[in-house]
Amino acid sequence: MKQKSEFPIYKPEYQDHADSRLIAQPSDMRMGATKIKNRMARKVFIETYGCQMNASDSELMAGILTQSGHQTVTDIEDADVILLNTCAIRENAETKVINRLEHLNHRKRRESNLVIGVCGCMAQHLRDKLLEAAPYVDIVMGPDAYRNLPMALNAVVSGDPYLGLQLDKGEDYADISPIRKEGIRAWLTIQRGCDKMCTFCIVPFVRGRERSIPLNILKDDVERLVDEGFKEIVLLGQTVNSYHDGKHDFGELLWSIAEVEGIERVRFTSPHPADATESMIDAMENSPKVCKQLHLPLQSGSTPVLERMRRTYTAEEYRKLVQKLRERIPQIALSTDVIVGFCGETEEDFDKTHTLMEEIRFDSAFMFKYSDRDGTLANKMLDDDVPEPEKSRRLNEIITLQEHISAEINQTKVGTTVPVLVEGNSRRDNEQYHGKSDTFKSTVFPKENAQIGDIVNVEIHSATAHTLIGQIS
């Protein structure tokens, strides 16, 4: 059995802990046996905050809990265990969870058996300090400790909180079957952790070192997903394109996933510009199943700021990469992440970001004010010296700019026909479907005779900054 530990345990090989699994393996399940004896089968509600990786981890948690005889529920009122799967990337992500916990504590006062767990990045970040802020929390569990969830549920029956905060380079959960929501798009984690050490970023400290899941396992996963009816696979990793399983790189993985019979689309998020290798670009250019769409986080258009962020590329190198991508894949849609108000960012630095965004014209962008995170390299080495109102002004300026650009780009799609994978009813109108185009644009159109999971050609007749509206042609 794995030891509960407060300290990082680094294991060099995946196989190292293959026989220390706490969870019943599929063969055990077939025999109707579980290795863990549950004192009590629980009804667990998992609430997810933050990025897609967290959404994927929640599916993993559901898999671990179900395999050990617990049940996940979709209505929080039915639950006797509530797990918040949290984010730590910016301060407001943590504030949201603290507020939510206070609300849940009201319920706990009425239902003393209710178990409240904080899982994920914020748990790993705040550790036992979280219990000082919210002493009614029963479980504090970081992203590498989910295998211990059933054990934690047993342990808290005694009334003591359970802390699972070991980071484990050997943990890839490759043997666990996540429980996914039905649909046409499946998220598949191919890599965990991050080795990049961008100075602003908390991720390496809360998700540990980078590790990739072997390609043959991923290929089997994808074959299973196709059998289950999924049409689109989104490969997930913190810096997804630095994937390397010791034998195969990211480009090889893309090719081999795209070759799985029955797959319609392959996407991935989020790559790091420094790892945009020839092998990745080749797969994007030449595999018809790999979508011509790339989320390529820029962070800043100023080289001195990028240097302070330790992004390992200059603004010029980023510009050249975009040029190359557009030469090779002319229809490519690009989106990005930008941080304003990073330590020492001058007006001139900010202008460079603004100008580069004007020049590149991303299809869309996620834009953030820099948020100083305890434990990061920037927090230790640099001054968070851009005043809050200035951060807000800069953020508003680029949001306005990007909204214009997104609207203009979408406008150019009017009159064209785009292939859309039908996902489900549109949120506003049951007579309409919504889906994503090949370049990941949200598209809405009347249903006609199309079925969910079909790829239909939609002629676009109008557009907003965020949506294309059309008709099946």
Nearest to 443 by CA among 431, 462, 452, 430: 462
Q: Which is nearer to ligand 5AD, 391 or 434 (CB)?
A: 391
Given 80, 223, 337, 351, the residue binding ligand 5AD (CB under 6 A): 337
Q: Which is nearer to ligand 5AD, 67 or 270 (CB)?
A: 270
Nearest to 164 by CA among 117, 95, 96, 105: 117
CB of 421 to ligand 5AD, least distance (A): 25
Q: Which is nearer to ligand 5AD, 148 or 335 (CB)?
A: 335
- CA 467 vs. chain centroid, Å, equals 22
Q: Which is nearer to ligand 5AD, 49 or 370 (CB)?
A: 370
CA 197 → CA 126, 189, 210, 325, distances in Å?
19, 20, 11, 25
Segment interacting with ligand 5AD (CB under 6 A) among 210-218, 304-312, 369-377, 434-442? 369-377
d(CA 14, CA 6): 21
CB of 122 to ligand 5AD, least distance (A): 13
Cα dihedral 142, 172, 313, 394, rounded to 10, equals -40
β-pairing, 364-369 vs 333-340, is: parallel
Check residue 183 and report its DSSP letter: S
Q: Which is nearer to ligand 5AD, 371 or 406 (CB)?
A: 371
Q: Is the dihedral of CA 296, 300, 304, 308 positive or negative?
A: negative
CB of 298 to ligand 5AD, least distance (A): 8
Verify binding: residue 370, ligand 5AD, rule CB under 6 A: yes
Beta bridge partners of 425: 433
d(CA 122, CA 147): 18
Where in 416-445 is the site for ligand 5AD (CB under 6 A)? none
CB of 371 to ligand 5AD, least distance (A): 4
d(CA 247, CA 202): 29
Size of the site for ligand 5AD (CB under 6 A): 12
Element (H, E) at 374: none
Q: Which is nearer to ligand 5AD, 268 or 368 (CB)?
A: 368
Element (H, E) at 150: helix 149-155
Segment interacting with ligand 5AD (CB under 6 A) among 32-40, 105-113, 364-372, 383-391? 364-372
Verify binding: residue 371, ligand 5AD, rule CB under 6 A: yes
Given 242, 299, 335, 437, the residue binding ligand 5AD (CB under 6 A): 299
Verify binding: residue 207, ligand 5AD, rule CB under 6 A: no
Residue nearest to ligand 5AD as judged by C-beta position: 337
Given 90, 180, 231, 394, the residue binding ligand 5AD (CB under 6 A): 90
Q: Which is nearer to ligand 5AD, 211 or 373 (CB)?
A: 373
As a residue count, the chain comes to 473
Verify binding: residue 297, ligand 5AD, rule CB under 6 A: yes
Radius of gyration of the chain (CA): 23
Q: How many CA atoms does the CB half-sphere of 35 hold within 13 Å?
A: 16
Q: Which is nearer to ligand 5AD, 60 or 198 (CB)?
A: 198
Q: Which is nearer to ligand 5AD, 58 or 269 (CB)?
A: 269
Where in 171-200 is the site for ligand 5AD (CB under 6 A)? 200
Nearest to 251 by CA among 233, 232, 271: 271
Beta bridge partners of 45: 82
d(CA 33, CA 202): 40
CA 249 → CA 55, 113, 144, distances in Å?
25, 48, 24
Segment interacting with ligand 5AD (CB under 6 A) among 11-19, 21-29, 215-223, 370-378? 370-378
Verify binding: residue 339, ligand 5AD, rule CB under 6 A: yes
Verify binding: residue 373, ligand 5AD, rule CB under 6 A: yes
- Measured in Å, how far apart are the chain's first and last C-alpha atoms? 59
- CA 68 vs. chain centroid, Å, equals 25
Q: Which is nearer to ligand 5AD, 47 or 337 (CB)?
A: 337
Which residues here bind ligand 5AD, judged by CB under 6 A?
89-90, 200-201, 297, 299, 337, 339, 368, 370-371, 373
